[in-house]
Structure 1
Amino acid sequence: MTTIPGVGIGLGVAQGPVARMAEPLPAPDDEPSTIGAEAETERVREAVSAVARELEERGAQAGGSARDVLEAQAMIAEDPSLESELDARISAGATAERAVHEAFATFRETLVAVGGYLGERAADLDDVAQRVIARLRGVPAPGVPDPGHPFVLVATDLAPADTALLDLDQVLALITSEGGPTSHTAILAREKGIVAVVGAAAAADLAEGETVIVDAAAGQIITSPTEEELQRARNRAETRANAASAPITAGALSDGTPVPLLANLGKPEAAADAVTQGAEGVGLFRTEFLFLSSTNAPTVDQQRESYRQLLSEFRGKKVVVRALDAGADKPLAFLNDAHEENPALGLRGLRALRANEDILREQLTALAAADADVRADGEGADLWVMAPMVATVEETSYFVGLAREYGIKTAGIMIEVPAAALLADRVLREADFASIGTNDLTQYTMAADRLLGSVSALQDPWHPAVLTLIHTAGRAGAELGKPVGICGEAAADPLLAVVLVGLGATSLSMAPSALADVRAILLQYTLADARRIAEAALAAPDAASARDAARAAATAQKETNR
């Protein structure tokens, strides 16, 4: 028996035979066309269009985050700049296959250089290019294997198109040798509830057909397991399944300390499913979906209807709505179309809204109206509204004051910038609450672009520097009697959720599929336990050590509690 370390997604465990992703198609030969430029152009237009439509159909089937990712892929596949690259190569005599290979590679390099949202999409171009070339050759596109029996899928990484439509009756677990806890593979695996270990570099050596145990809770893969180990894994999987089917209770620690477990949502249509999975409210409603698909800002009435639909699903429950968070990886032409050398540090979030205050005022108008609509025909929701990308006390005062003008009773801010965390005691004197966005807080603390693969190892919320800032904010909230929640991806990591509560988080918001695992682990510890586990993580020198220290402290605490 040997173990391969990686980053586990969730608390699941699974076992089965390995099936590896097929190798990419070889690069087309660099040979001149024999059918002429017009015919090659017609071939490539048909292939690109067909692949784009297939991606859109897959997205529609998958829904959720997968739909957004796949629709973005389809848009890039048909980008006019890419089409010009293809035409130029075909005009120079290349075949359609070779033109696709070269043009997509060049376009990929361009997007990587741009960085931000487009830089993130660059890696997806490899998958699109493979699908277009396969279409041109009349062969199946490389993708998820079909060995005819359930299997553990092993890949370098998964393209969003593959992850979106995995057959969960066949894929027992997922292992990738690349990627991290905030990669698309990890996010989609968490959303679908797939047992997964990502970033396991040594998984590249796993052999086709060998039996492995994928232990997400321990963040490892066990190779050549004994029958005893296999049985223990089966018992754990069964226990977890039973816990997931048990009656849903409010989030709490074993000593009764309440820890509300909320959902991160991007569209009102996802509300009903979140409630079914045990969401006690909404900790982050991203309003960007109303804006990103439009060339103009939506009207007050359009926004009002969407907010009304959301609030109606959560009558009597807390709903935290984030004001439009545009800029950086979510550019909007009507909000800020100026070129910025580093948009992640530019006019984004509240900064962009202040520069276009009419958009912010219209959003607050729509939220207040929707809240009144819902209250008029029964019990209302408990509406909280927060501003994104707040860095100063003055920005906090500005937003809270503006929200009050429109009758918003509970107004707060996102803590995503280290400055806001360091001044949390002053910021929270102005705001009613704060919500920590761990993705951006980690990015800015570690000076590591969260969309840049070359520094993905630094994009880890377990880093003690990040945990220290969270602790600073949590302590300030406790002293002032102000709630401090977590709404970043970190809250969906069960062990990290315990640490976050120990650092002072008063609520946790996450993808609905992660709620059951987090609810279960919180019930294993008291608040004093959580604080001791958090202290162990804080004392570590780096992210990996913090994770290991917390795991060791949690294990020791469970032994003590028996």
Structure 2
Amino acid sequence: MVTATLLQGTPVVAGVVHAPVCHVRAEIDPARLRAYREQPPVEVEEALDAYDVAVAAVVEGFTARAEAAEGSAAEVLTASASLARDRGMRGTVKKNLTAGQPLLEAIDAAVEHFAGVFSSMGGLMAERVTDLRDIGRRVTAHVVGAPEPGVPVPTTPSVVVAEDLAPADSAGLDPAMVAALVMERGGSTSHTAIIARQLGIPCLVGTPGALDLEEGVLVLVDGTAGTVELDVDADAARRRVEAAATARAEVDAWTGPATTSDGAPVTLLANVADPASAAAAAEGPVDGVGLFRTELAFLASTTEPSVEEQADLYAGVLGPFGTDRHVVTRTLDAGSDKPIAFATMPDEENPALGVRGYRLSFDKPDLLERQLDALKIAGERVGTHPWVMAPMIATADEAADFAAKARARGLKPGVMVEIPSAALLAHQLLEHVDFLSIGTNDLTQYTMAADRMATDLTHLTDPWQPAVLHLVAITAAAGRAVGKSVGVCGEAAADPQLACVLVGMGVTSLSMAAASVRAVGVQLGKVTTVQCEAAAEAALGAGDPQAARAAVREVLEG
């Protein structure tokens, strides 16, 4: 039970909500567990068959949800399906059964074994521990004949509270009934945060004490301030909710184009992952796509898609934007938390710092060559000039090599700035490429040497960290010096006030989940270019993220 009247978390999605608490329960029906354990033991092969049937049911559930979803939701569900059918997990379960463990204990032990392996790897692989344990619970539920655990279906709009949500849960949220999300753990770039942005659900992460909130108690969640308040006067809560609703209505009515109040244009772009999310984004007030994640086609396949298959996918994303709005395609960002059987290296000691993204082309150059060939074909079909960028670029030589390959196919080359070395050498990278795109999620993680899923380090993985903002400013200045585009495609672009800071630094485009575009456009329209520049100066001069946010609010609202 919470004794404090105010909890502080990290804000992810703005909005004010006054609603009852609804807890996510991870437990499996104890009666079903007890009844299963009372059954006579079975032979190893019979137990393994039961495991295979349960895994197939879990995979089928993930796959069906992925097919009904789009964008980030589809991507994380597809990745979970792949993890559920992992052969290494099955092999460990069989080994445990052979050693005499009952099936449920064999599953638990296998899950904990790989959870330990993933945790020891750190970086993005540690993020998969939540996914792994969720899969273990779902498989166990099917073995004992119980419903899969997860988010309950509230009967009234509620504040869903959990330690963290697994991808299958976050991807299946109903915004009509989930008024807000409050996570005790997790960071601003977790699956939960990304999907909350996509759905526009007010969200806080890294909120100590959230799990102690009583079921059904009314709380006021402020997604801008990052607070959960108890014992709020009903009339005061109503006024704050109504004010937020008025602001929301203004956001919903915004149709673009994005400019500051003194008329300076700002390019707002969408992040997409497939033709469905591209078509939906194209209907909104966006100037194109700043990040087309191509991983989904690869994650869903056990073999590399052919050039023709890839071309079909890419044309499906390019098509909705025609010839007057550009689409930036990111080449395969596999490795680390997105292992692909035919591409990534198995058993890396530290995959977050290993062979991922562009580095895959060092040993598998044909993988990149075929992807660029497919994008060229797609561009010819649509009649457009595709932009393409490589992830995880660390040196100017890498940028030059990628640019040559892209230009040979008539593609406009750029690279992502996710590694501090790339930010520091941005002026050299721009000697070879036509644009840069800053991936603030990874740039923050690598700059602060902090796993983005480590709740105890949420203050370090905050994109408002001054050290990260200084690297962004360095990159933007390099682009401004030579008149080339520098965009931000990390989730930081979806924060309306941080968007003003980025514009003040000289960032020329902001790409985000399509659901976040209107809020950013409205905020930019309320401030001048001079205010944006002053906000950037204030953020860069702050000592920590909280001080940066406060200083920027004073500049923008003063």
TM-score under structure 1 length normalisation: 0.90
**Is 1:235 aligned to 2:242, yes or no?**
yes
- Contact kept? 2:164, 2:184, Cα under 8 Å: yes
The count of residues paired between Structure 1 and Structure 2 equals 550
Q: Name the structure 1 match of 2:448.
A: 446
Matches of 1:70 and 1:129, distance apart in 2: 15
**Is 1:65 aligned to 2:67, yes or no?**
no
Helix, strand or coil at the partner of 1:144:
coil
Among 24, 34, 37, the residue aligned to 2:40: 34
**Amino acid paired to 1:178:** R
Deviation for aligned residue 1:184: 1.1
Matches of 1:395 and 1:41, distance apart in 2: 47
Q: Name the structure 1 match of 2:396.
A: 393
Deviation for aligned residue 1:255: 1.2
Q: Name the structure 1 match of 2:350.
A: 342
Q: Name the structure 1 match of 2:406.
A: 403
Matches of 2:342 and 2:251, distance apart in 1: 45
**Is 1:149 aligned to 2:156, yes or no?**
yes
Identity percentage of aligned residues: 43
Q: Name the structure 2 match of 1:521.
A: 523
Q: Name the structure 2 match of 1:492.
A: 494
- Contact kept? 1:421, 1:473, Cα under 8 Å: yes
Q: Name the structure 2 match of 1:426.
A: 428
Matches of 1:40 and 1:10, distance apart in 2: 45
What are the residue-to-residue correspondences of 1:69-468 with 2, within 5 Å? 69-115=76-122, 118-146=125-153, 148-315=155-322, 316-335=324-343, 337=345, 340-375=348-383, 380=384, 382-408=385-411, 410-450=412-452, 455-468=457-470
Helix, strand or coil at the partner of 1:16:
strand
Greater mean deviation of Cα atoms: 432-441 or 56-65: 56-65
Deviation for aligned residue 1:41: 4.2
Greater mean deviation of Cα atoms: 442-451 or 501-510: 442-451
Deviation for aligned residue 1:311: 2.1
Q: Name the structure 2 match of 1:560.
A: none
Change (3 A) 1:84 1:357: closer
Matches of 2:209 and 2:554, distance apart in 1: 24
Change (3 A) 1:431 1:232: same
Matches of 2:334 and 2:326, distance apart in 1: 24
Deviation for aligned residue 1:470: 0.4
**Amino acid paired to 1:243:** E
Change (3 A) 1:118 1:343: closer
Matches of 2:298 and 2:309, distance apart in 1: 11
Greater mean deviation of Cα atoms: 223-232 or 511-520: 223-232
**Is 1:510 aligned to 2:516, yes or no?**
no
Change (3 A) 1:24 1:320: same
Among 514, 535, 541, the residue aligned to 1:539: 541
Matches of 2:58 and 2:380, distance apart in 1: 45
Q: Name the structure 2 match of 1:559.
A: none
Helix, strand or coil at the partner of 2:209:
helix
**Amino acid paired to 2:541:** A
Greater mean deviation of Cα atoms: 288-297 or 121-130: 288-297
- Contact kept? 2:66, 2:78, Cα under 8 Å: yes
- Contact kept? 1:10, 1:517, Cα under 8 Å: no
- Contact kept? 1:354, 1:360, Cα under 8 Å: no
Structure 2 stretches lacking a partner, 5+ long? none
Helix, strand or coil at the partner of 2:186:
coil
Structure 1 stretches lacking a partner, 5+ long? 557-562
Change (3 A) 1:64 1:86: same
Matches of 1:363 and 1:86, distance apart in 2: 37
Change (3 A) 1:145 1:350: closer
Matches of 1:224 and 1:335, distance apart in 2: 53
**Amino acid paired to 2:307:** V
Matches of 1:340 and 1:102, distance apart in 2: 22
- Contact kept? 2:78, 2:296, Cα under 8 Å: no
Matches of 2:209 and 2:399, distance apart in 1: 47
Helix, strand or coil at the partner of 1:402:
helix
